[in-house]
Chain A
Amino acid sequence: MLAVEARGLTKTFRTGWLHRRRTEALRGVSLEVPRGAIFGLLGPNGAGKTTLLSILATLLLPDAGSATVLGLDVVRESLAVRRRLNMASGNASFVWSLRPAEVLMFYGRLYGLSGGALRRRVEELVELCELTSHRKTEYNELSTGLKQRLAFAKALLNEPEVLFLDEPTLGLDPDVSIRIRAQIARLRRERGTTIILTTHYMREAEELCDDIAFIKAGRILAQGAPDALKRQIRLGEVIALRLDPLEPAGLASLPGVLECRLREEHLECAVDAADKRLPEILRWLHEQGVVVRHCEVREPDLEEVFVELNR
């Protein structure tokens, strides 16, 4: 059963005098997200991630293509879709004079909650997102981290079956980011919430997501599980070496070596098969009189996949 299905979504923004300037934000994006999955949308700034999320969240109408959330069409059945989803973004903002509980009360009422059920829900979320000691603080006096936590709490008000998170940990302190990530994982584990998140942090995506789509210039370049993506991009494995001299000439042209890159004090060589190439490389280095101070074999991380796809 799919939570989200998109077929050939396109969106062009027209700006400037007489709307002559055109920006193609999405160029035929198709996507399938199963229920209960955490799905990551990765890509550079302006790639179309937020546009895609906004269409799925019924905030934006597509020019062409179709999309459903929980089997409901996001254009024709938008009201029914809105009851069952919610969204939080890293740069969220709320009305300046309201206190955290008042913000939650306002949006809770918009979702039709009232009386004791609303009060209990708000209390629960204030506690969950550790806002209890800031109850009396007006929104514009809250720190960035607290504002983000409030945005996260607001996104949970209606117990959404599908939750969109647009850069949920953007600009947060590491400890707050860790707690938000833990909460995201718990939501899926305990409630089976389908979560689609956009992020710039590859480690966040690698830690949380079952599937990832790389989006660039409005097109999905690659999609799949993090490990499958690494294989799909054919980055091979990485042999990280600390050598003396640092970067011996000729190493990159050895058989099976796909690429060598200097990263800080390490020379990172992408190879087709580490178990076969490592002895050959070490032998060659020995013959060249190069001292090997450290050697390590690892899989490429998502960051490297991202860099590769961005080329």
Chain B
Amino acid sequence: MASVSEPALRADGLRAEWTRTWAFACRNVIMARRNVFFVFELTFWPGVAMLSHGLLTQFLALTPEMTAFILSGTVALSAVQVCQLDVAYAVLFDIWSKSMKHQFLAPVGIRHLALGSWLVGVARGLIVFGLMAFIGTRAFGFDFLGGGAGSLAAFLAGCFLCALVIGLLVCTLVLLFGTRAETSAWAAVNLIVMLAGIYYPISVLPGWVAAISAAIPLTYFLDAFRAGYGFDSQFSAPLTKGFALALLYVALAHWALAAAITRARRTGLLLKLSE
């Protein structure tokens, strides 16, 4: 082995902040390129969901507005699922490869892993949306821009913010309960989307469930998007409420993950997840 001659390398500042964030983004991209299950996440399941739900709307002979109502739920579920998985992968990759301690041995914060992996999640979520929009428009005549470009952009931004919250919560659960909580990465989003009124208005839910729904930001984003297709909005200023709630939850989820990491350092779970 040769000898090393580089002077001391220890970077800090804004550039280093971005570099640390970029590290997680690059890793997610490499993993997405090399593992076949990412292709399924990105194309197969969203494609199947859009085709099956679109065919269902045709069988039931739904109006274009009702078709938009159903298919907007289908898009929300797939986009949120794919994006939140990327955030969860920031921790899950290390758990599956038993390399957790190396990540937390480095001077990184939650903001780096969350933002870096979320950026890839947003990119993948947009690809999923593009695919679903293509199928929806060509096969079922669903116009995703029916409510206007601004409405669609706000809807997608809301979906991706919700995905960030769910992804951070999955990371928190995994760092609290170890590998037992892995399944939450796939289960959590389905529960939340169900409560947010994915294929129905939340007015059909029992009163106490509807109260929970009102605390979920995705409920407001779906409501605002569907309003663009002529449905009565169930909330006043849904986008403002949705974004305010989502940002509050991002802050809370960040705090929860920080607390879970501290607990994992205290209990030794951080080391156990590396064995």
- Please list the residues of chain A having a beta carbon within 8 angstroms of any beta carbon in chain B: 13-14, 50, 54, 57-61, 79, 82-87, 91-98, 102, 105-107, 109-114, 117, 120-121, 124-125, 127-130, 138-139, 154, 156-159, 179, 182-183, 186, 190-191
Check A95–B16 contact: CB distance below 8 A.
Answer: no
Residues of A within 8 A of B17 (CB): 112
Contact flag A113-B268 (CB < 8 Å), given A105-B26, A107-B106, A121-B6 = no
List 8 A-B pairs, Cβ < 8 Å.
A58-B265, A93-B98, A94-B97, A109-B22, A112-B17, A113-B11, A113-B19, A128-B1
Instruction: Determine whether the beta carbon of A83 is less than 8 Å from that of B10.
Output: yes
Q: Of the listed stretches B28-36, B131-139, B188-196, name the one at the interface; the rest are far from the partner chain.
A: B28-36
Residues 1-43 of B contacting A (Cβ, < 8 Å): 1-12, 15-17, 19-20, 22-23, 26-27, 30-31, 34-35
Q: A107-B102, A114-B16 are in contact. Are A159 and B266 (CB under 8 A)?
A: no
Contact call A95/B27, Cβ cutoff below 8 A: yes
Main secondary structure of the interface of B (DSSP, over half): helix
**Contact across chains for A95 and B1 when beta carbons are under 8 A apart:** no
Residues of B within 8 A of A (CB): 1-12, 15-17, 19-20, 22-23, 26-27, 30-31, 34-35, 93-94, 96-99, 101-108, 112, 262, 265-268, 270-271, 274-275
Interface centre among A91, A92, A114, A128 (most CB of B within 10 A): A114
Q: A158-B10, A179-B1 are in contact. Are A92 and B99 (CB under 8 A)?
A: yes
Q: Once the chains bind, are A112 and B19 in contact (CB under 8 Å)?
A: yes
Report the bound CA distance from A125 to B275 in whole Å.
25
Given contacts A13-B268, A121-B9, contact A93 B1 (CB under 8 A): no
Do residues B99 and A95 form an inter-chain contact, with CB atoms below 8 A?
yes
A165 to chain B, nearest CB (A): 13
Q: Give the residue name and chain of the B residue nearest to A84 (CB).
A: B10
Are A129 and B1 in contact, CB atoms less than 8 angstroms apart? yes
Closest 6 CB pairs of A and B: A112-B16, A112-B11, A109-B23, A110-B106, A114-B19, A97-B34
User: Which residues of chain A have C-beta atoms less than 8 A from B107's C-beta?
Assistant: 79, 82-83, 110-112
Instruction: Give the residues in chain B near A58, CB-CB below 8 Å.
Output: 105, 265
CA distance A102 to B97 in the complex (A): 15
Q: Which B residues lie within 8 Å of A112 (CB)? A: 10-12, 15-17, 19-20, 107
